[in-house]
């Protein structure tokens, strides 16, 4: 049996080869990964923060945020990073992007401590926005490895071009 091939019109070619899908899917994957990471960091980190300050209160440091605000900022940064590391390793991410992502939270914490020492911002104001700032820093890290977080490749190695 002989099959005749059908040649597509030029305006139909873009719809058939999935060009919009090739653009929208990676963006959607990137945004979903960002939302997931922010949720994990802020919710999981929030739980670790509550546990940390609860343990400090049991040990007699009930007002740690007031008595040691810089230490509190660093503890919050480590809790956010810890939640991130736990989730990314659970998802079987490689160590390098995991440590980069967690490092963004720690870097934000360090910058916050330095800004409070320099008098650029009050520590009580900084403690309240640390999770949001860590999410913003996380976007920068994700943009550095956009291929990984947009689902175009599953490893740190460059994708093989056909």
Q: What average pLDDT does this structure show over 17-27?
A: 73
- Residues 99 and 95: their CA atoms lie apart, in Å, by 6
Q: pLDDT tier at 161 (50, 70, 90 boundaries)? A: very low
Q: CA–CA separation, 82 vs 53, rounded Å?
A: 15
Output the CA torsion sign for 47, 51, 54, 56.
negative
How is 116-143 classified by DSSP, letter by letter? Answer: HHTTSS-HHHHHHHHHHHHHHHHHHHHH
pLDDT of residue 6: 52
The pair of structure tokens assigned to 149 is 């977080």
Q: What is the pTM of this model?
A: 0.74
Cβ atoms of 137 and 105 closer than 8 Å = yes
Mean pLDDT across 122-146: 83
Place of tokens 């914490």: 109
pLDDT at residue number 108:
92
Output the pLDDT for position 129.
83
Residue spans per domain, the chain:
30-149
Please give the pLDDT value at position 96: 92
- Per the CB < 8 A criterion, the answer to whether 149 and 142 are in contact is yes
pLDDT, position 157: 46
Q: In the predicted model, is pLDDT for residue 33 greater than 90?
A: no
Name which of 129, 123, 77 is nearest 103 in CA terms.
Answer: 77
Confidence (pLDDT) at 121? 78
Confidence of residue 48 (pLDDT cuts 50, 70, 90): very high
Please check the confidence at residue 156 and state whether its pLDDT lies above 80. Answer: no
């Amino acid at each position: 049996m002989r099959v005749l091939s059908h040649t597509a019109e030029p305006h139909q070619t873009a719809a058939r080869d999935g060009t919009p899908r090739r653009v929208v899917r990676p963006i959607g994957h990137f945004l979903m990964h960002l939302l997931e990471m922010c949720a994990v960091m802020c919710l999981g980190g929030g739980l670790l923060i509550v546990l940390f300050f609860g343990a400090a209160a049991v040990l007699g440091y009930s007002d740690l945020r007031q008595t040691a605000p810089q230490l509190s900022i660093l503890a919050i940064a480590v809790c956010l990073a810890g939640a991130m590391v736990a989730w990314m390793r659970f998802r079987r991410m490689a160590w390098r992007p995991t440590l980069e992502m967690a490092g963004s939270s720690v870097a934000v914490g360090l910058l916050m401590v330095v800004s409070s020492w320099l008098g650029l911002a009050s520590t009580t104001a900084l403690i309240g926005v640390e999770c949001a700032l860590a999410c913003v820093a996380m976007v920068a890290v994700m943009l550095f490895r956009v291929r990984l977080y947009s689902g175009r490749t599953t490893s740190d190695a460059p994708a093989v071009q056909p």
